[in-house]
Structure 1
């Protein structure tokens, strides 16, 4: 936290005119508390003699099962479904009806009708499975027979690619559950196991419509009413409440929309709870609660913010000289705070809100009203407005002035809302912090309105030097989703630069351009670089959709928005020479494109003459070819580590050629090392969601996707990384010596790329790590991973594979 200003003076308070600008050449969803009493009859916590509480073995089995059910690809399928529904809503309903309530009701009706074929097919699937399970001998079924049993189910009608994806992943969930059921036969007997599955699948069928309803609400409102997640309720029952409470410390930042993975988490927890529970009455009570919750009206804070922003923009543009903007700010603040992570702390503090309204109004007074509209709109035009929108009119420039002031107020309030209470409760202290927040917000959202001497004294008041540019709310007309930098920057990107810049999952930008755009790895790349910044409620497909004038964008397809990459200070410095344009964000925002943070920045490379290299999927669900990646599963239930190293088509074929030519194994291993070692580091050291999964009896999905590793001491993680890297090196070098043909055959399959599946069994030190994740006091000697060599198994699977 920076120190408060020693004086309330700021160059922005002295603005009386705008310097001439030179035009540059273009360069929570959950049951209510009542359900807590009956959510899960199997739960019981007993106390050992030493006073340590532990969950009983069946509860541990439940937690492990829920973690095993989780699959990153299911989140991707839900995201594509929401993107499709959200696009329909944006196209047909936003601003179509004057009354927001009328708009929402009509949108819900149409979207529910749009999603009804998916709901019907899922219900039919679960009913058919429940009927067929009675005729199966679970104990006698092998894994391949279970696969065949589930795979034969197909939709009764053609489905859209997004619907078909969800249908396929629902089958995969049930397949995992059925394989688990083979173990239950030994405990319950054949008849009881079949009955448990039949009942659970039929109960799950009743959950489908409420689940689809929540997806509809999410697509319309983006930020639905915050219910306590089902995981939180069950965590309390299982005795893991502290883990959930501590999870907040891992988050950091503020999401543009609630995380998509909530839908998979609730689906998995519902399936698991129905399977483990043997009391149909309690199952019905929980389903009734979920159905009731789905029918409850949701708040629309984003819609409220959009309306309040429009009213604020209109108001500040109509002010006359000397008019007080305080009433406008007072009306704007209540719409901003519900979308601020810690905005709830302002409730019941009217004195604080009044102070902020008056002080912020004083700060923006030099930028509002008719007197200032013309010079400020000219400054915005000179900063490049028409470079990013050739159709921009004088009225658009005028509206951009009000939007820039509104964005400045929003950003100021967001920074103030996270200040500690001791600052918020001291007006004299608070004044300095508000001034600092305003200056930073004005720097980001207003063109360079200060005299040059002011910037010489305060260089921190502009993000770059030499670029006459600003961030402009987009689209210019209608609902705002993002900001775009008003200059499209020209960049010459050398191979060393492209290798140094990392994108999602720590993948070098050079590999992305080679694999997905077909660019040669050894040539310089000439690109026009477009920059974007996320706003509340926005998803990346909405940027790609509204960029109609940008070649390669203008649509919500995965292959369009997947070309947007995080603009970190490092990326901005290396690619553009302006690190101030980048944004520092918590690690969770670099896991995948489904979760984005408010204020997070992105770049898109417009490269003339390139052609996208697509994966095997066709049509609306087409995706660009995958880049290489590494995923790690720490499975404490089986005392093993599983590593899945997907090799892109280009990299897999390169290794296959080396093996056919009998190239020395050392050369082959060097080819693997460049991708595997950074991937392992991201998974085991950073604990990035999506690259690591932890199957542990005391860990629910929130921590099991990676964040729990943040609590493990750094030396322990580094020791584990070093040994896993060494073991994989030994295991893979042996595999390529002994079974090169199995790898070569896998690369000849039509599927894109191959996956090296490596299993490490009986690892020394893993039991101690298991205890560490339970927050038990352990000896560092027990965390020695070097005692013995684990058993290593390697398999090459055609195409992309993960658990």
Structure 2
């Protein structure tokens, strides 16, 4: 490194409001597992006569099968399972600050005992199914008979809602596989098909315990282990080397929790691999590898950070005047870096870490130690500590001051860790960047500690205008999960504001208010707005659970945490007039509540008289009523596009009333068109999104949820959206003109809402798009969706249906 230049100046280096007189008057990571060395039953590719490389038919069938198995609702079921495990863990361990490794071992033991009934029931289910299938004539079974055969299995004992939900989804996975088996009977014969199913289900039984163990580890660690996922192993064996090379390497990540979808992906891949492989040795090797992964020691970066943060807070509160906080910062930084994207680059660079520790220690010196902690704690109390923590004591206020310094250091290091190497290697450049990062972190985490003149000169050092507030670590006592804004803001929400603000899935807040809270869509709403920010390892249910004094929260139930919405700059500006309180996040964090980003902010609307509108779920926790959504399935195997447009109960009944009264068809279509258009745009052009599913012979599951479309030119996607809107409009107009009664009958079903399932066959341009997703060099002019009108079929299904 070069020699540092003259120290940059910042108002935080001379905090005059914290002068001495005022102070006196205020008194291990797991190693990647090796890929299988056995011979796969799949030949990766075969050569055509023209030299073009193609995926072989059996590999193509395998990938299509895995894509068809996926269902977003299974991810939701796993999330509820993780929430249940996490709540049990939090209840017993969050207030105990023992060494993380010791704590995790005891927690795993307790959680394994808690999950043992589910493991036992799933093992019995698979064993019994394997024996029963042997006595069935697969070729003679219709789909209805397969449904009845699978549905009759039930647990032998009462299970918790989350357990029963997983049990039900395991049956659905096997049901899909068994329906696939009818095709295999024709190809392989009855004996081979039965043998494949019997062996696969019995082997899958051995996988259940390791799979549940991974769920438990996930609930405790909150971050994925650094092992080679089964998806990558199978991708290599199936010939998708290019996809593996293009996958982003695990670098610590910036999620508060890893992607819940990894559990479904691995379950589906295991089931598919066991079914497709006729080699029992191959099956045993795959199981042995998974069990080996399960036994490997896992790192606990979240527990390490939580433990280090507490040690840092205790240390800064004990410093005497003149003491150097550098050793405290040096010990704190290594716990922060593993949870920061690109933070792994700091390993083996002690000189860089030492420089950061010394410089950051100098920046925080006027906020730590006995001399300054009381004025800082008083400033936090003045900023509203007791407004959000009614029972906060003086000791709590003092610890909140130490916590504010800790989060300032965390945010500073998190931002610095993402800097490019050329900055990290140049101390003169680095000093300026660290100073800027510290100022931004101090702005977010410290109360207003500077003189008013400093803020007049540097308005960027305030997140808001006119609010004296700060972000405070929560809960005050015990393990920390999130920060809460120290002021509960009042907001008057007009219908226009509610229509303009979007929440998860690009749904207008107005629909949330009407559908899920039963509020009139035409009136202003008075609300108290609570604001939150995520810490590493936290999930939204942990916010809702710990907000015991906030009406409508205080529990981990779906209907509580589903009322937390992303606080983007747009939402903060429209709802509160304070865009600086919002956080810009990448699209994957605005798609669903299962994955949240470190530093992501949320808001909760406390509305007097509002009550969550619930729907009962068989075998699951009661949940909020669904809002309208659009899901798209690009099925290249069948050369068709399927659109599932779920209409909320309110919208469905509104359309049914119009149809009964024979109101002009144009009025019905107008009420549908805006939702369809926004849904299509969100699914096809909105980035990584769970509202799209791709079934493609050359695409592994991790890219089949919309990620692959990121490489398709925007003009192609926009053209597809335009044509789909036109075709759906024509198809639905014909359907409502010819079959209005079928829609009306579906709305009379007691289930929540209805789904318009629309299938489009023989689309021009789809073969060229299929080739584009294989990364072939093609002429974009060939992707033309306007040559001919596709064949369109429409069906109305009671309730939610998303394939």
Aligned partners of 1:280, 1:6: CA distance in 2, in Å? 69
CA–CA distance in 1 between the matches of 2:75 and 2:488?
33
Kindly tell me: are residues 650 and 251 of structure 1, through their superposed partners in 2, closer, same or farther at Cα, counting changes over 3 Å? Answer: farther
Aligned twin of 2:299: 299
Task: Please name the residue that 1:758 is paired with.
Answer: 758
Shift, 1:139, TM fit: 1.9
Matches within 5 A, 1:231-630: 231-248=231-248, 254-617=254-617, 621-630=621-630
Q: How does 1:644-793 map to 2 (within 5 A)?
A: 644-793=644-793
Alignment of 1:119-268 (within 5 A): 119-248=119-248, 254-268=254-268
Bigger Cα displacement from structure 2, 346-355 vs 615-624: 615-624
* Partner Cα distance (1:783, 1:404) in 2: 55
Asked if structure 1 preserves the Cα contact closer than 8 Å seen for 2:756 and 2:795, the reply is yes
Partner-residue secondary structure (3-state), 1:621: coil
- Contact 1:544-1:556 at 8 Å conserved across structures: yes
Question: Whole-Å Cα distance in 1 between the matches of residues 372 and 70 of structure 2?
Answer: 55
Aligned to 1:74: 74
How many Å apart are 1:5 and its aligned residue? 12
Q: CA deviation at 1:182?
A: 1.2
Q: For residues 650 and 252 of structure 2, what CA distance do their matches in structure 1 show? A: 36
C-alpha separation in 1, matches of 2:5 and 2:678: 42
Residue equivalent to 2:635 = 635
Pick closer, same or farther for the CA change 1:144–1:618 going to 2, 3 Å.
closer
Q: Distance in 2 between matches of 1:385 and 1:511?
A: 33
**Post-superposition shift, 1:566?**
0.3
CA contact (8 A) 2:547 2:553 kept: yes
| Cα displacement (A) at 1:296 | 2.3
Unaligned runs of 5+ in 2: 20-27
Q: Distance in 1 between matches of 2:619 and 2:189?
A: 47
Per-residue Cα deviation, 1:277-327 (whole angstroms, up to 9, x for no partner) = 111112111111211221222221111111110110011111112111100
> Secondary structure of 2:54's partner?
strand
Deviation at 1:52, TM superposition (A): 4.8
- Larger mean CA deviation between 108-117 and 577-586 belongs to 108-117
Q: 1:619 to 1:171 in 2, by over 3 A?
A: closer
- Deviation of the 1:32 alpha carbon: 6.0
Distance (whole Å) between structure 2 residues aligned to residue 214 and residue 430 of structure 1: 40
Distance of aligned partners of 1:244 and 1:504 in 2 relative to their CA distance in 1, 3 Å threshold: farther
Q: Residue 31 of structure 1 contacts residue 286 of structure 1 at CA under 8 Å; is this kept in 2? A: no
Task: Identify the range of structure 1 (613-622 vs 398-407) with the bigger mean alpha-carbon deviation.
Answer: 613-622
**CA spacing shift, 1:344–1:202, aligned 2, 3 Å:** same
Preserved CA contact (<8 Å) 2:16 2:450 = no
- Residue of structure 2 in register with 1:111 after alignment: 111
Deviations 1:722-767 (A, max 9, x none): 0001000000000000000000000001111100000000101000
SS at structure 1 position matched to 2:134: helix
The 10-residue stretch of structure 1 (405-414 or 96-105) with the greater mean CA deviation from structure 2: 96-105
Return 5+ residue gaps in structure 1 as ranges. Answer: 20-27
In structure 2, the CA distance between the partners of 1:785 and 1:249, relative to structure 1 (3 Å rule), is farther
Distance 1:252 1:301, change over 3 A: closer
CA separation of 1:445 and 1:8: change in aligned 2, threshold 3 A: same
The corresponding residue for 1:25 is none
- Residue 382 of structure 1 and its aligned partner are, at CA, apart by 0.6
Deviations 1:156-183 (A, max 9, x none): 1111110010011111111111111111
Contact 1:440 1:461 in 2 (8 A): yes
TM-score (norm: length of structure 2)? 0.96
Shift of the alpha carbon at 1:462?
1.1
TM-fit CA distance, 1:343? 1.2
CA contact (8 A) 2:203 2:283 kept: yes
Q: 1:640 offset after TM fit, Å?
A: 0.4
- Normalising to structure 1: TM-score of the pair? 0.96
- In the alignment, the residues of structure 2 paired with residue 280 and residue 289 of structure 1 have an alpha-carbon distance, to the nearest angstrom, of 14
CA contact (8 A) 1:29 1:230 kept: no
User: Are the structure 2 counterparts of residues 668 and 513 from structure 1 closer, same or farther at C-alpha, using a change threshold of 3 Å?
Assistant: same
2:24 aligned partner:
none
- Measure, in 1, the Cα distance between the counterparts of 2:799 and 2:250: 33
Deviation larger for 94-103 or 649-658: 94-103
Question: Which has the larger displacement, 449-458 or 72-81?
Answer: 449-458
Deviates more, 1:279-288 or 1:741-750: 279-288
Give the conservation status (yes or no) of the 8 Å contact 2:494–2:523. yes
**1:511·1:627 contact (CA, 8 Å) conserved in 2?**
yes
Cα 1:184/1:320, change in 2 over 3 Å: same
Measured in 1, the distance between the counterparts of 2:443 and 2:642 equals: 48
Q: CA deviation at 1:517?
A: 0.6
Task: Kindly indicate whether the alpha-carbon contact (under 8 Å) linking 1:253 and 1:585 is maintained by their aligned counterparts in 2.
Answer: no
Q: Tell me if structure 2 keeps the 8 A contact 1:5–1:435.
A: no
- Give the SS at the match of 1:36: coil
Aligned mates of 1:685, 1:250 — CA distance in 2? 26
Per-residue CA deviations over 1:338-387 (Å, capped at 9, x if unaligned) read: 11121111111111111111111111111111111111111101111011
Indicate the SS of the match to 1:793.
strand
Partner of 2:25: none
CA distance in 2, matches of 1:263, 1:240: 21
